[in-house]
Amino acid sequence: MNSTTDQTAELNLEANSLSTAPGAPTPKPDGKRPMFYEFKPEETVKAKHGTELRCKTWEAEAALRMLENNLDPAVSLVYDELIVYGGAGRAARNWKEYQTIVKTLKELEADETMLVQSGKAVGVLKTWPHAPRVLIANSNIVPAWSTQEYFDELDKMGLMMYGQMTAGSWIYIATQGILQGTYETFAAMADKHFDGSLRGTITVTAGLGGMSGAQPLAVTMNDGVCLVIEPIDERVKQKVREGYVDEQARDLGHALELCERAKADGKGWSVGLTGNAATVLPRLLELGFQPEIVTDQTSAHDLMDYIPEGEIGEVLALKTANPEEFKRQALASIVKHVEAILEMQRRGTIAVDYGNNLRGQAEKGGLNVRDENGQFLYPGFVPGYIRPLFCEGKGPFRWAALSGDPADILRIDRALLETFPDNKLLARWIEKAQAKVPFIGLPARVCWLGYGEREKFGLVINDLVARGEVSAPIVIGRDHLDCGSVASPNRETEGMKDGSDAVADWPLLNALANCASGADWVSLHNGGGVGIGNSTHSGMVIVATGTPEKAERLRRVLTTDPGMGIFRHADAGYELAQDVARERGAKIPGLR
């Protein structure tokens, strides 16, 4: 970034500060967002199981159960603050608004739609039985004002919340939600660099909050060794308890000993180390330790969520006492962290960014992270390894059993293998997922399926519900990180072939198209994964209730939704997406 751009950015930040906006509300004197703890339920929130309805339709009941599942302490990151994952990604704006959302869902008629504005129910419309029951918009700000600083002031006044991706759209399924995508990424790295397997390799990464346990487990599923660094000791212990990390090391020396032993044995194994990546990675360089792969999954899009170097108790106290100093130290630590990644890359390690905006923050801190052509010195995982899957309309398709019965998911697993008997990678994923992935909250499964495949399998699930082979309706959704639902220049749309990285029309069209096709709830968010102002993305959920009417809506929605990925990538000039469109009958004006 040149000096002129820096000056412009500083002027924009100054101009966009809420405190200078005419007629702006006044922030609370203590600077804390209102949480209304007096409305917090006496009983801990957990998703209801079984077939008894509290709402008037299964669609509204599904939205309520998934909201509750997001907040279940076994699933969420900070229950008391309604934070689900990703730093400050919330399920509802505060406890008062949570109660209002619950009450509204219970009263919602079969032809009504609830509107949710950044975690607050703001209206109910008379629509149609085939219209969405819930429409959600989170964190969206007029583009020229869409900065972290402006958002933070709105947030402190209780006017907005950060929805992340699946936190504020009520379709989070814990670490498993990104696990298969992470598995696919490391499988693609294995194919590209290591003859199809990570056996005999060590991956170094960091971060074990929220969904971050996906990386160590995905590496071991690809038969590799993973060293994962996390500054909060309890988070390491939690991931070991949950099965996402195999073992906790006593110290760095012990960690390296464990990793080298597993590498020599050709064993898939993961080791958690309590420490700070900004400290540990430079130390690894001093020791001459060179992993085969280095990446990171620490929440870094908001500096308040990245823990800087220092004694952990003192650092966390600083976060409360002096947030600005905390952010300054966090940025300095990020610069050290990325410097170490770049040095590992120079020494021959394969470096990949996993979409947490770590490179972008390091750039803000003054580190040169780009080459002479303006491209990042080490690639993001999407342009590096995943984009061909996006061109086929593939992405993190997922479903959850509203019954709460794991047997329903296992029955669907069996149907999945029967429906796609020739997909060996899929069969391997299901085998490993059943063996190694714990069910947390409502039992769920994630599976990367493409254009045509999602529609086909959605109808299979609906038929299982109709025949009573699963005991209650099944929620079908996906991550916002998908083939055609997001514009995120530092992640999903980094390095697009036609230069359209920042074009946000596509996620807006995705949301509109899903509403028109009959989804049960649709969401549109700003900033998920990479921070306010850095992405626009949409989410979709539809409930398989077993009825013929729902079968028709499933057919439309599960064709429309991944079809947006085909449209988006074909339009950008990707020949694979154009070929898929021709082969599978996706209608694109002008494509011959």
Catalytic sites, residue numbers: 447
Helix (H) or strand (E) holding 77: none
DSSP code at position 20: G
Q: Which residue has the tokens 């599978």?
A: 584
User: Token digits for 321?
Assistant: 């006492």
The Cα–Cα gap between 559 and 582 comes to 15
- Environment class of 22 (CB within 10 Å of its CB; exposed 0-12, middle 13-18, buried 19+): exposed
Annotated binding residues for NAD(+), written as ranges, equal 86-87, 164, 230, 235, 276-277, 297-301, 306-307, 354, 529
Q: Distance between CA 391 and CA 504 in Å, rounded? A: 18
**Which of 47, 41, 105 lies closest to 74 in space, CA to CA?**
47
| Strand, helix or coil for residue 32 | coil
Do 511 and 522 contact (CB within 8 A), yes or no?
yes
CA atoms within 13 A on the CB side of 358: 33
Single out the residue of 503, 542, 496 nearest to residue 521, CA to CA: 542
CA 210, CA 166: separation in Å to the nearest integer?
12
Backbone dihedral angles phi then psi of residue 508, each to the nearest 5 degrees: -65, -45
193: DSSP letter? H
Are the C-beta atoms of 345 and 294 separated by less than 8 Å?
Answer: yes
The structure tokens listed for 384 are 């590096």
CA-CA distance, 56 to 231, in Å (whole number)? 46
Q: CB under 8 Å, gap of 24 or more: what pairs does 127-130 form?
A: 130/518, 130/549, 130/553
Burial of 264 (0-12, 13-18, 19+ CB in 10 A): exposed
Neighbour tally for 73: CB within 10 Å: 13
Round to the nearest angstrom and report the end-to-end CA distance of the chain.
40
Number of H helices and number of E strands within the chain?
20, 17
What is the side-by-side strand order in the sheet with 293-294? 247-248, 269-274, 225-230, 202-206, 293-294, 350-351
